[in-house]
Structures are given as structure tokens and as C-alpha cells.
Structure 1
Amino acid sequence: MTDLPEFYFRIRDNGAAMFRVSTENRQKRIEMHEIAVINIRNGNIRPHGNHVLSRNEQDAIDTWVAERRVTLAARDIDDIHRSVEHLNKTAHWAQSRASDADLEAVTDRLLMAMHDLRSVLVRKKADRIGRASKD
């Protein structure tokens, strides 16, 4: 049997539930005992029940949070790159395959979303240029 990790993190919205993994029982079954709930957005860590987190458990949480934030940041930027691709595909679809009814169904929503995005991007770019000129 392969070595099991000491801890298991069950991913959930905004964080994870942390479990201690154990096979220390007569049947050698895998048991998972919840020891904490982690909220990655606000950094809140709530030990389960009356459990007091050990230094080792806290270190494992800190490592997991750091790795999870890197994963989520990579996914965010990947989603943005995919959005650019979708916009390109949408332009091609609108120009080459969309019917009048198709365009009527999506044009206003697309235009509003693109206007909103453009406004944010232009404002953010102006802020970056403004900061760079002060340096």
C-alpha cells in the first residue's frame, strides 16, 4: 500500500475542510478526522470542535493556503486568456455564421459586457500610466 498523506484537504467554496488521515485501527481502514475549516478569502481558520491546532497542522495549513492561492491565481489568468479566445471566436461567429435572430438574441448583452470591460480596462491602464509617470 502506498504511503498516505498525513492531511487531506477537501476543497469547498472559499477554502477547504482539513482532515487528519489515519489507518491506526484494527481493520487498517482509512479514516479521516476533520480538524479544521479554512477560509482562503479572509484567512479564517476554525478548528473543528475542541481541537487545538498543533504547529505541524498550522504549518500544513499555511503551505496548503499558499499553494492554493497560486493555483487559483493561475486559473484566473488562464480564464482571462480563454476569454480573449472566446471573444475572437464570437467575432468570427457573428461575422460568418450568426443569423439575424442569433445576433438579436445576444447583441445588447454582448455590447454592454464589452462596454463595461472596456471602461474598466481603459481606467486601469490610465492608472498604471499615471503611476509610471510619477516614478
Structure 2
Amino acid sequence: MAASLPDYYFRVRDNGAFVFRVDSENRQRRLELDHIAVVKLRSGQIRPHGDRSLSPEDLRAIQDWIDQRQATLAARDIDDIHRAIDHLNLTTHWAQSGASDAQLEEITDQILLAMHDLRSVLVRKKADRLIKNGDDSKDDNAS
């Protein structure tokens, strides 16, 4: 069993993780987790725990975890958006075919405000991209 354990364990928390070195090769033959660092994803900060110094191997393993974690979170974000689109479609169907007047009265203003806010942001971002892409194509034509 010990051979299949990873060298590091990352206890995920908001904006990062606590990093532990996994030790299963000790006298008592017990599994021990040695807290070696704290990681903050947004800033990319890796802070050794206590008075420890991290080896290049530790830093490489932590950076690999950061890269994988950021990719996982990005994939989750886009999946959440696809789910939100599905929920909007389901909500539309519910509003059209199954909602009572009381239920519609309860949620209509909130949904309309949220949709207006979302539409405003999407239109502004789309315009920004079109302007940026238009400037890029002008630069390409000038060359």
C-alpha cells in the first residue's frame, strides 16, 4: 500500500491548499502527514510552514499541483456556465408551461434584473473584443 501513496498531499481550501509531505516509511509504520507549506492560488505564493525550507523537489511538486489545480478550476468554471445555460433553458420552459402566477410573481423581477445585468456585461465584452480584433486586423493590413 505504501508504494502507491503520493509523496505529497494537498488539503484544498479557499484560494489554495495546505501542503503535506506523506511519510509512510517511519519506525511505527504509520502514515504521517508533515505540514510543509501553504499555497495561495490567486497570488501564486508558496509559503513554507514554520521555519522549514522547501527543496527544489518540493517546489516543483507544489508548482505542478498549482498548474493542475488552476486547469481544474478553469474547467469547472466553464462547466458551471454550460450548466447555467441549461438552467436558463429549463427555467424558460418552466415559466412557459408549469409556473403558477404566484411563482412567476415571486421570481420575475429578480430574474429580469440578473438577465439584464448579464446581457449588459456580455454586450460590452463582445464590443470590446470586436474593437480589439478590428484593431488587430488593421495592424495586420498595415504590414
Q: Judge same fold: TM > 0.5, yes or no.
A: yes
Runs of 5+ unmatched residues, structure 1: none
Distance in 2 (alpha carbons) for counterparts of 1:26 and 1:57? 23
Aligned twin of 1:56: 57
Give 3-state SS (helix, strand or coil) of 2:61's partner: helix
Runs of 4+ in 1 over 3 A off after TM superposition: none
Matched residues, number:
135
Q: TM-score, normalised by structure 2?
A: 0.92
Give 3-state SS (helix, strand or coil) of 1:26's partner: coil
Q: Map of 1:1-135 to 2, 5 A cutoff? A: 1=1, 2-135=3-136
Q: TM-score, normalised by structure 1?
A: 0.97
Distance in 1 (alpha carbons) for counterparts of 2:68 and 2:35? 20
Distance in 2 (alpha carbons) for counterparts of 1:14 and 1:101? 40
Larger mean CA deviation between 19-28 and 70-79 belongs to 19-28
Identity %: 61
Cα shift at 1:24 = 2.6
> Can you list the C-alpha shifts for 1:24-65, whole angstroms capped at 9, x where unaligned?
322211000100000001111111000001100000011000
Distance in 2 (alpha carbons) for counterparts of 1:39 and 1:133? 37
Root-mean-square deviation (CA), in Å?
A: 0.8
